[in-house]
Structure 1
Amino acid sequence: MPARHYGDAMTTDLSTLRRIPEGGLRQVFPEGDVHIAVDDAELAEYGRELGLRTLLVENAGELPPEANVAVFLRNGLVTRDVRRTFKGMRALLIPISSFDPTLEIAKYTMRLVLETDYEKACKWNRYWARRIAEESGALIFSNSAGTDLKCSLAMELNASAWLNPAIKPGQWVSIAAYAEMSITAPSSKDWHGAFTIEGTAVASGVLVATDARVTAEGAERIERAKRVRDEIAVQGGIRLELENSRLVSAVGDSGKDFTEAIKDATNPEYDGHVLELGIGTNMALLPHIEWQYNSQLNEGAGPVHLGFGEGMTGAHMDFVVPDGDHRFERTRQNG
């Protein structure tokens, strides 16, 4: 079988809290001071309590031209002006407001950014980039809780991840690029063509995210998605059944059926089709994870998550499987 082709999204150029104040961020920024830029005074104060070199985004013009900076956005989504502010710098983005901007979640997210082992996450990203390119058999995820997913990957797909920890001057990298190998369709015109997923996923984490390009109708769906997410979180988890990459059943631990609510919140035009197969590569965070939180850092802490919707015309909802194994199905040889 020929190696799979990856689209432009594949990036190829790619502790303890108190022991080193910058924590794992020293792996991202090996030399020089590490600055924490925050668009919120309360979170900036919390960063200082953690011993971090913290400033407000509005004062980022005072930083050196090639400064090392982790950008925490609690009050706003990513805009051209924000990106322009950090042009030329080494910038790691943490878009808290895309998930849940409450102060408790923002503090939790900041702690997990410091706890992340970026070298280990990138090692996993390199592993998955190699295996997905080389293997022709279906990818299987399973665990003792009932997860049993068979993921057959297309020959052309987008697989997005950051492969080496350090960020260079002028690079703007999202925390998600470290924490997951995100597999999507090669084109929005063929949004269901990257993979076929069959089976069961038992998820502990449910995330709701919004995109900066969200429409008015999409924003209304996202609000409904947040209410669905909160109800599932109280129950503790949810069991998803998929046929031909389409959600056919989503039942919470209490027995309540959320299938139609999820389809509605993620845009019913997609009819419950999975738009993203996410492979978690930040699993070293697992001991620190609180699954009831809607934090982006939870996304990569489980071995696999399934994403519905795109965050613009409806919510992007991720369902995170907290543990399990993986293997590639052997293909039958000719002759």
Structure 2
Amino acid sequence: MQDIVNPAGCLRQIFPEGDIVAVTDDAPLGSEAAGHGLRYVSLDDVATLPAGSNVVLFLSHNLISKKIRILFKHHRVLVVPIASFDGTPEAARYTLRMTLLTDYLKAAETATYWIDGLRSPAKKVVFGPLAAPGESADVTRLVCSLGPSLTVDAWPHAEIGVGDWVSIGSCCELSITKQPSSNGDDIFSMEGTVYASGVLVARDPRSTEAGGVRIRRAHQLRTEMTDLGSITLSLKDNVLVSASAGGKDFTERLLDVTNPDHGLQALELGIGTNLALLPNVDWRHNSQLNEGAGVMHIGFGEGITGAHMDFIIPESDHHFLP
């Protein structure tokens, strides 16, 4: 894995001037950040920071809340919501390292490329070959039809200004989402087969008690699927019709942990913009930094009444079609 020679060199793309402070609710993680050249300040001591401070906020134990956001309203903040995925020490250290290795300028350039492509007259994006491969070919080919109500969540910039609260996810991916109650193809619809290398489980801060039970089961399912290697997903009319890995079928269990009421409809089309990170990625970790390292990912569930699960496709070409 690549060594971190000068972490400030990466984060300077976001914070060109002044000290860069690692604020976290986990003292061992703060000590590790300090070992990489950042200044560590506990979340409990945020009030000691002068206005306009450059902050990388690592939340290992707390989910994002209005109360926490208010603490940083006068600062420049890159927030890394570790606890929404996996707050264990190993996952937290991995996420810290990937945050420091991210090339934010390249990610912003890639985001701009995709935004321009999606604003063009394109009505479809094909991931994989233009022509459908034979049934026996293990090749990703996904046709994404784009609707008139499509909107993109991204931060296609590198520098963060005073008062900005920017999620690491917005820096490293384009997220196109729909609500579970959304009907029709007004935002997007996907059809085809993909081969995923990574799986993520995420919790929304608004998660319910019943959702929390499903999310715990989703973590167990994620570990089992990841251990089996490549995961094959087939979608038809934007619904997941089969999911398998290592010769085992996981479709019904995915339906259960993401909330059966949503019927395994795809709720997120994600475009990775942090592709330069890929050689350093370890798919065993349930880290948000893995999400943007693949060319694209598909999300099921909303993270509230059940798990939000992302399946990451690490490599694929793409084509914009009218």
Aligned to 2:264: 272
**Contact 2:85–2:201 at 8 Å: present in 1 too?**
yes
What is the root-mean-square deviation in Å for CA atoms of aligned residues?
A: 1.5
Give the match's secondary structure for 2:112: helix
**Contact 1:236–1:292 at 8 Å: present in 2 too?**
no
Aligned to 1:121: 107
Letter in 2 for 1:322: P
TM-score, normalised to structure 2, is 0.94
1:72 lines up with 2:58 in the alignment: yes
**Contact 2:198–2:312 at 8 Å: present in 1 too?**
yes
Give the match's secondary structure for 1:292: coil
Unaligned ranges ≥5, structure 1: 1-15
Query: Shift of the alpha carbon at 1:191?
Result: 6.2
Displaced runs of 4 or more, over 6 A: none
Matches of 2:162 and 2:281, distance apart in 1: 31
Query: Shift of the alpha carbon at 1:204?
Result: 0.4
Give the match's secondary structure for 1:88: coil
Task: Map 1:45-194 onto structure 2 (within 5 A).
Answer: 45-142=31-128, 145-185=138-178, 189-190=181-182, 193-194=186-187
> Once the two structures are superposed, what CA deviation does each residue of 1:169-217 show, in whole Å capped at 9, x if it has no partner?
00100000011110123x6652664111000010000000001000001
Aligned to 1:312: 304
Aligned to 1:238: 231
Query: Shift of the alpha carbon at 1:145?
Result: 4.6
Give the match's secondary structure for 1:146: coil
Aligned to 2:290: 298
Query: Shift of the alpha carbon at 1:292?
Result: 1.2
Aligned to 1:39: 25
Out of 209, 214, 217, the residue aligned to residue 207 of structure 2 is 214
Assess, with a 3 A threshold, how the Cα gap between structure 1 residues 308 and 18 changes in structure 2: closer, same or farther.
closer
Aligned to 2:134: none
Higher mean C-alpha deviation, range 79-88 or range 96-105: 79-88
**Contact 1:17–1:114 at 8 Å: present in 2 too?**
no
Assess, with a 3 A threshold, how the Cα gap between structure 1 residues 23 and 74 changes in structure 2: closer, same or farther.
farther
Letter in 1 for 2:203: T
Matches of 1:313 and 1:168, distance apart in 2: 34
Matches of 1:274 and 1:305, distance apart in 2: 10
Give the match's secondary structure for 2:50: coil
Matches of 2:121 and 2:39, distance apart in 1: 44
> Once the two structures are superposed, what CA deviation does each residue of 1:3-29 show, in whole Å capped at 9, x if it has no partner?
xxxxxxxxxxxxx75432424111011
Query: Shift of the alpha carbon at 1:308?
Result: 0.3
> Once the two structures are superposed, what CA deviation does each residue of 1:137-188 show, in whole Å capped at 9, x if it has no partner?
3101127852100000101122110011111100100000011110123x66
Unaligned ranges ≥5, structure 2: 130-136
Letter in 2 for 1:29: F
Amino-acid identity (%) = 46
Matches of 2:181 and 2:4, distance apart in 1: 48
When the two structures are aligned, how many residues end up with a matched partner? 313
Letter in 2 for 1:176: G
Matches of 2:70 and 2:293, distance apart in 1: 31
